[in-house]
Homo-oligomer: A and B are copies of this chain.
Amino acid sequence: MTITISIDCMGGDHGPSVTIPGALAFLKHQPQAQLILVGLEEQVRAELKKHHADNNPRLSVKHASEVVAMDDPIEVALRRKKDSSMRVAIELVKDGQADVCVSAGNTGALMAISRYVLKTMADVDRPAICSILPNQKGGPTYMLDLGANVDCEPHHLHQFAIMGAVLFQAMEGRRPSIGLLNVGTEEIKGNEVVKATAPLLRADHERGVLNFHGNVEGNDIFKGTVDVVVCDGFVGNVTLKAIEGLSRFFKQTMTETLLSKMGALLAIKSLKKLNPESYNGAGLLGLKGLVFKSHGGANAFAFEWAIKRAYNAAQYNVQEQLSAMITELMPRTPDPQAPGSTIQQG
């Protein structure tokens, strides 16, 4: 089965100079894939030419006349740039021309345009961003939300837990344990939102819908205490970026200090599986179509990884599995008029 991926080539801090080498590297390793490169045609073709790839039959270029800047307010990206590369790439998913879309652009804009173009799945209040991190048990830790929803209510976190569980099950083929990210494992700990979320997850656990482990702490992400870590998008985004920052710091410190080239080489090799670049690529969950987000600052290698994740998600029919399972599992949305259930746009 050929899988077609639409790529927003203009997104990210570096645009085509990163996205196109990343896309070409991906294509080289993945003979089943077809790519639609979306962006300012002249720039995209120039970059392709530079890499002697302007005649690759598995590539097509789709012109889009506008670019969403990394600091564009959501309104500008959504309302005034209707022919942006980001939007056109997402529309290709909606129209069925692409199975999944990848962008390294402005997260807020990507989520807003994805919601507008693709629409949110029935029974989902807010789509979430789910990333995959390595853990000490050698498995993956899925973590969400990672930036789409900065102000959350308990029922949002509850839905994130369910969406994360569904994604994990589809991608990994087993039922995950779920942890609620908190400042302590004890039930008495936490902010008001987290304390009100735990009983919702416990109730799901009791009716057999979720395998809720309980509260987990920041260090549990890497311990692999649970398979899926649930948090709001503010905490998730800050934590993920702190992790990336520390990874870079480690690398720098090691290469600066190691006394022999061999030592550095061995150490870097041993840390390869922790390479933050290889964990690039987060899924936007809860939309009527698959979208993957790369970090804005990704290099070509990292961007290639985001495309790989998107490809895998399409290959494993994550979208169909989400659709099928979510209606069954998702709790009914509380009345937005009811106290404490204000739905805010993240």
Interface status of A340 (Cβ within 8 A of chain B): no
Partner of A246, one of B151, B247, B263: B247
Interface status of A67 (Cβ within 8 A of chain B): no
Interface status of A320 (Cβ within 8 A of chain B): no
Q: Contact string, A317-346, partner B, CB cutoff 8 A, digits 1/0?
A: 000000000000000000000000000100
Q: How many Å lie between the Cα of A192 and that of B233 in the bound state?
A: 13
Interface status of A30 (Cβ within 8 A of chain B): no
Pick from A20-28, A43-51, A213-221, A301-309 the stretch touching chain B: A213-221
Cβ–Cβ contact B254 & A271, under 8 A: yes
Interface status of A312 (Cβ within 8 A of chain B): no
List the B side residues contacting A344 at CB < 8 Å: 192
Partner of A240, one of B190, B192, B218: B218
In A133-152, which residues have CB < 8 Å from any B CB?
A: 134-136, 147, 150-151
List the B side residues contacting A183 at CB < 8 Å: 107, 147, 150, 233-234, 237-238
A205 to chain B, nearest CB (A): 21
Partner of A270, one of B217, B246, B253: B253
In the complex, the count of this chain's copies comes to: 2
Partner of A245, one of B71, B184, B220, B262: B220
Cβ–Cβ contact B239 & A242, under 8 A: yes
Q: How many Å lie between the Cα of A235 and that of B150 in the bound state?
A: 12
Interface status of A250 (Cβ within 8 A of chain B): yes
Interface status of A104 (Cβ within 8 A of chain B): no
Interface status of A266 (Cβ within 8 A of chain B): yes
Given contacts A147-B183, A183-B234, whether A241 and B257 have CB atoms under 8 Å apart is no
Which chain B residue shows the least CB distance to A346?
B191
List the B side residues contacting A74 at CB < 8 Å: 188
Interface status of A203 (Cβ within 8 A of chain B): no
List the B side residues contacting A189 at CB < 8 Å: 108
Which chain B residue shows the least CB distance to A260?
B266
Cβ–Cβ contact A248 & B219, under 8 A: yes
Interface status of A259 (Cβ within 8 A of chain B): yes
Interface status of A122 (Cβ within 8 A of chain B): no
Q: How many Å lie between the Cα of A271 and that of B270 in the bound state?
A: 14
7 more contacts with CB within 8 A, not counting A134-B249, A250-B274, are A136-B248, A147-B183, A183-B238, A218-B243, A220-B245, A257-B269, A266-B267
6 A-B interface contacts by CB (under 8 A): A73-B188, A147-B183, A239-B239, A263-B263, A266-B267, A267-B267
